[in-house]
Amino acid sequence: MRRAIFPGTFDPFTIGHSSVVSRALTFIDEIVIGIGINENKNTYFPLEKREQMIRDYYRNEPRIIVQSYDCLTIDFARQVDASLIIRGIRTVKDFEYEETIADINRKLTGIETILLFTEPELTCVSSTTVRELLQYGKDISMFIPEGMEIRD
């Protein structure tokens, strides 16, 4: 069985994230959506709410596991017996950052990273932008997966 992790803060989980997961499921048997705990980030949603929203969204997909972690991503990958890391990239800047991290992860552990390019119509969608819209009371329904319940 081929298991991968899809790490991120997911604050909130967007249509871009959902797209990466659905595309990765075409060649991965199981995906652990790993919600990284980063004390340096000011999150909008508490960790427990993010976990529950994503679990509820994927409740009918047995190949998805949602779990939080507070260690290095490569250590988390080892903990859950994942052989791959899945990442989505929107821009050249994202690519350069992800390439560096992927190289380091591979050198340290041998774990490979698969980069999935964002679909062109989703390149403008980022958790940061969606979070800012939320903070100003704007409707974010077009940026989150259909059927996902966003709860404050």
Binding residues for ATP: 9-10, 17, 88-90, 98, 122-128
- Which residue is catalytic, options 22, 41, 138, 141? 41
38: which 2 tokens?
A: 């980063």
- Which residue is catalytic, options 17, 18, 50, 131? 17
The reply to whether 90 belongs to the active site is yes
The reply to whether 2 belongs to the active site is no
- Which residue is catalytic, options 49, 78, 90, 106? 90
Contact 10, 127 (CB under 8 A): yes
CA-CA distance, 145 to 128, in Å (whole number)? 16
Binding residues: 9-10, 17, 41, 73, 87-90, 98, 122-128
The reply to whether 49 belongs to the active site is no
The reply to whether 41 belongs to the active site is yes
- Tell the residue number behind the tokens 């939320």, with chain if given: 134
Q: Is the dihedral angle over the CA atoms 136, 139, 145, 150 positive or is it negative?
A: positive
Binding residues for substrate: 9, 41, 73, 87
Strand partners, 34: 7, 67
Catalytic residues: 17, 41, 90, 127
